Amino acid sequence: MAKTARRHRKARERVEFFRRYDFAEAVQLALECAYARFDESVDVAIRLGVDPRRADQMVRGTVVLPNGTGKSVRVLAFAKGEKEKEALDAGADYAGADELIEKIKGGWLEFDKSVATPDMMGSVGKIGRILGPRGLMPNAKLGTVTFDLAKVVKEIKAGKIDFRVEKSGIVHATVGRVSFGMDKLLENIATFIDTIVRLKPAASKGTYIRGIAVSTTMGPGIKIDPANVKVLLS
């Protein structure tokens, strides 16, 4: 524990607290500050100029990161007949109908994402109180309620993530692993931020992106100058 504390302190000492780095500098510093013995995740947090309490300023969506997240995602598909087979052929870890619903009612939750065909949602709704609070409920707005299960399952397996702005106006996402290296991480970050920019609500006034920070699982947060977004996306 003492060694971990020393490593964390040394990592924090490398970061200039009041400085706003550009993207390349921030990512490179984050990688240099990663000290854990496992492959740490790299996360991005963005503070937006929106009021999430207002429906017309909600920022929510999905994005497929070009280099994935580095995490193996277990996908469950609620489907019947040919659609069940389609989901399994596309890479779903589990697929089925009433038998899976009963299994979940019994406490089984060994999956990370779920998708469903529209005709299954009446049955899936019965376990909404179990799936909803855990972020596991299929959602049409996020594209996880669809008859095109093959496409959705493949996207999730390839690195599709969903995000939603929090009450504090912060939206965050995991954009890869330390082992990805600079180029892949910057590409993922650019894709994520580009999506956030395109989702700017018409009702949002003033500065939209007010703050950005990048960090690893165990490392310190490194602040980025929002003015560099245009350079990143150019």
The number of beta carbons lying within 10 Å of the beta carbon of residue 111 is 18
Which pLDDT score is estimated for 5?
Answer: 73
Which pLDDT score is estimated for 7?
Answer: 76
Tell me if 152 sits within 8 A of 146, measured CB to CB.
yes
The CATH superfamily holding the domain 19-69+160-233 is Ribosomal protein L1/L10, rRNA-binding domain (3.30.190.20)
Could you give the angle at the alpha carbon of 114 between the alpha carbons of 43 and 133, nearest 5°? 70
Which pLDDT score is estimated for 233?
Answer: 92
For range 130-143, the mean pLDDT = 93
pLDDT of 227 above 80: yes
Which pLDDT score is estimated for 163?
Answer: 94
Domain with CATH 3.40.50.790 in the chain: 75-157
124: enclosing H helix or E strand: helix 121-124
For residue 4, name the pLDDT band (cuts at 50, 70, 90).
Answer: low
pLDDT (tens digit per residue) in 13-58: 888 888 999 999 999 999 999 888 899 999 999 999 999 999 999 9
For residue 2, name the pLDDT band (cuts at 50, 70, 90).
Answer: low
Where do we find the tokens 């924090």? 12
pLDDT (tens digit per residue) in 70-121: 988 999 999 999 999 999 999 999 999 999 999 999 999 999 999 999 999 9
Q: How far apart are CA 143 and CA 152, in angstroms?
A: 7
| Secondary structure of residue 233 in the 3-state scheme | helix
pLDDT (tens digit per residue) in 143-183: 999 999 999 999 999 989 999 999 999 999 999 999 999 99
Domain with CATH 3.30.190.20 in the chain: 19-69+160-233
75-157 to CATH, choices 3.40.50.150, 3.40.50.720, 1.20.1260.10, 3.40.50.790: 3.40.50.790
